Structure 1
Amino acid sequence: MKIEPKHVVSLTYDLYVDNNGTEEKVESATEEQPLTFLYGAGQMLPKFEENLSTHSTGDNYEFRLTAEDAYGEYDEEAVANLPKEMFEGAEIPEIGSIIPLQDNNGNRFRGQVVSVAEDAVIVDLNHPMAGQELHFKGTILNVRPATEEELAHGHAHGPDGHHHH
């Protein structure tokens, strides 16, 4: 079956990024644990879906997304200094750790601790894959029309559409 909007797609993928000139595999989805999503529901990167649009069940695919089409260019400005008082009563996070944050509008996001100064924790708010070209390879395992319930919920309920229990 061909991939179309309002269809549920299950696929495997290996995601590679360039690490100083060598391709490094950073994520993958296997046949046992595939990525299953409702196509066209806006859950995936738009260009990821666009690249899959010509494929059908059983196809192998391979494509690259530029940083701009993936998680955006790296933004030097997207670094925050969090006053240490924010962590009062809690441990100061370690460098390299990812911490959950919330902005003044209540939007949740994550930041990676890049350094700890005397009175502040410096956090990089860029997506961990910002500024990177993404290289995807994989196989389309299954394509099926979404159920009415899945369309109502706006997401897939698993590779074969079983209900939540």
Structure 2
Amino acid sequence: MHIEKDIVVSIHYRLNDDQGNEIENSFGNEPMVYLHGHNNMIPGLEKELEGKQPGDQFKVSVSPEDGYGPYVDGLKQQIPSEGFEGLDPKIGMEFTADTENGPIQVRVLEITEEFVTVDGNHPFAGKTLHFDVDITEIRDATPTELDHGHIHAGGGCCGSEEPEEEEEEAVVEEAPAKEDKPEEGTCCGGCH
């Protein structure tokens, strides 16, 4: 079995910036799991995973165009402080803002007495991302996962429901056991 559309993929990864600084690391924690071919992974990394199998390891650099896109200056805005009345914004805080194009996730960059500066760009927008990837497991997606277009952690929809009765046991292919353990690290929950 190899990675292709409609396969559930489990990976461990280490993500570094251009200076070699570690941004994320899933080793030592649960692997990141996603449904391949359903826009659940940044395009550049998903393309590199295509055709691979459990036990494969590789390094790849993903350009902004194949990652989180270019940094868009227009998504950085100063909002009058009175718009935050009753709230206590802090630098780094993230929240959903309603815009004329629909809701977007924004991050607080700066706070002055008059304005709160927010940024609607993804934190990795405009950055080349350097991944070290270890494919740990793949399996066929369940019919419900295919219908919904994403995996069901814990058996239910995103781990929030009990598994459906008619779901069949998925065939899982794991990577061969390794003697050395992966490095300890932290993970923010996957490739966003």
Partner of residue 154, structure 1 = 149
Tell me how large the CA RMSD over aligned residues is: 1.9
Q: Partners of 1:23 and 1:120 in 2: how far apart?
A: 34
Q: Partners of 1:112 and 1:162 in 2: how far apart?
A: 32
Partner of residue 60, structure 1 = 57
Q: Partners of 1:106 and 1:42 in 2: how far apart?
A: 20
Partner of residue 119, structure 1 = 114
Picking from 20, 38, 60, the partner of 1:41 is 38
Partner of residue 7, structure 1 = 7
Deviation at 1:31, TM superposition (A): 6.1
Q: Cα deviation per residue 1:24-73 (whole Å; 9 max; x = unaligned)?
A: 11112236411111100111112211111131111112101011211122
Q: Which amino acid aligns with 1:7?
A: I
Distance of aligned partners of 1:3 and 1:51 in 2 relative to their CA distance in 1, 3 Å threshold: same
Please identify runs of 4+ aligned residues in structure 1 that moved more than 3 A.
161-164
Q: Which amino acid aligns with 2:6?
A: K
Q: Contact (CA 8 Å) 1:31, 1:141: kept in 2 or not?
A: no
Partner of residue 173, structure 2 = none
Partner of residue 167, structure 2 = none
Q: Which amino acid aligns with 2:32?
A: L
Identical residues among aligned pairs (%): 37
- Return the TM-score normalized by structure 1: 0.85
Distance of aligned partners of 1:153 and 1:120 in 2 relative to their CA distance in 1, 3 Å threshold: same
Where is the strand percentage greater, Structure 1 or Structure 2? 1
* 3-state SS of 1:114 partner: strand
Partner of residue 97, structure 1 = 93
Partner of residue 30, structure 1 = 27
* 3-state SS of 1:68 partner: helix
Stretches of structure 1 that go unaligned for 5 or more consecutive residues are: none
